Amino acid sequence: MTPSQPKILIIIPAYNERANIRNTLKEIWALDVKTDVIVIDDGSKDATAQEARQAGAKVISLPFNLGIGGAVQTGFQFASQNDYDIAIQVDADGQHDVGYIRTILSPVLNNESDIVIGSRFMPQQEKGYRSSFARRLGIGFFVRLIGVLTGSLIYDPTSGFRAYNKKMIRIFARHYPHDFPEPEAIVLAGKFGAKIKELPVVMRKRQGGESSIRYLKSLYYMVKVTFAILLDMLKTRRLVEYGH
């Protein structure tokens, strides 16, 4: 890698994704984008870590389950410590079509944005898997809530398919929401003055295994995230000051 080339890290948080991780990695290896890949095994009970290692990925195994926020933040901390310029977050379950990595990478590479979100719900975009009706209702609620509170219209605030520049890697290495982090991370990023862009991507149904947010947890998700977003709006500027 020449010095002028940016260092790019793909962060894959994985919890009990043995059935999917190999395929996801295979798709990433097939890309013509030069990146490093780190799988954050979030205390899986199955052989996710072994499967990822066998597929050739570097794996950070957390000693116990921290939740998606903790796993992704571990990735940011690793990226920050190893001086990566760009981090891309990709789900392990195969929902994110990694073919779109180039799409979400481009505005960050060109310094147009600090965060780029791969979105399922932008107007007039190609339709792929768009989640269940109940989930879409929840997402709609967060679109409005974030819109009212921050003044920015994000069509898919729950999408975890994102690209971040160095500034955001450093910030999120220090401050990142614990559980169900995606909508809250947008509000936090806004507090740090981040430029956020959304680009249309097509997503797929999860390739195997089960989602971690089901039944009553969905209700808890709605309440927790709403409360967290409202509290984030009250946080002082002290949070904004960061230094490395």
Partner 1 sequence: MVIKWLALTLSMGIFLFVVELVRRERLTFKYAVGWLLACALAVFFSVFHNLLFAIAKFCRFELPSNFIFFVLLCVFVFLSLLLTVFLCQQNDRNDKMAKKIGIMEFELSELKTRIGQKQ
User: Closest distance between partner 1 and the C-beta of residue 18, in Å?
Assistant: 18
Cβ proximity to partner 1, 62 vs 145, nearer residue: 62
User: Closest distance between partner 1 and the C-beta of residue 77, in Å?
Assistant: 6
Residues that bind partner 1 (CB under 8 A): 40, 58-64, 66, 70, 73-74, 77-78, 81, 178
Helix 133-150 vs helix 216-234: crossing angle, to nearest 10 = 10
CA 184, CA 119: separation in Å to the nearest integer? Answer: 16
User: Closest distance between partner 1 and the C-beta of residue 89, in Å?
Assistant: 16
User: Closest distance between partner 1 and the C-beta of residue 55, in Å?
Assistant: 16
CA 220, CA 198: separation in Å to the nearest integer? Answer: 27
Q: Cβ(100)–Cβ(202) under 8 Å? A: yes
Listing DSSP states for 92-110 in one string gives TTS-B-GGGHHHHHHHHHT
Helix 216-234 vs helix 182-191: crossing angle, to nearest 10 = 10
User: Closest distance between partner 1 and the C-beta of residue 128, in Å?
Assistant: 33
Within 8 A by CB and 6+ apart from 102, the residues are 31, 33
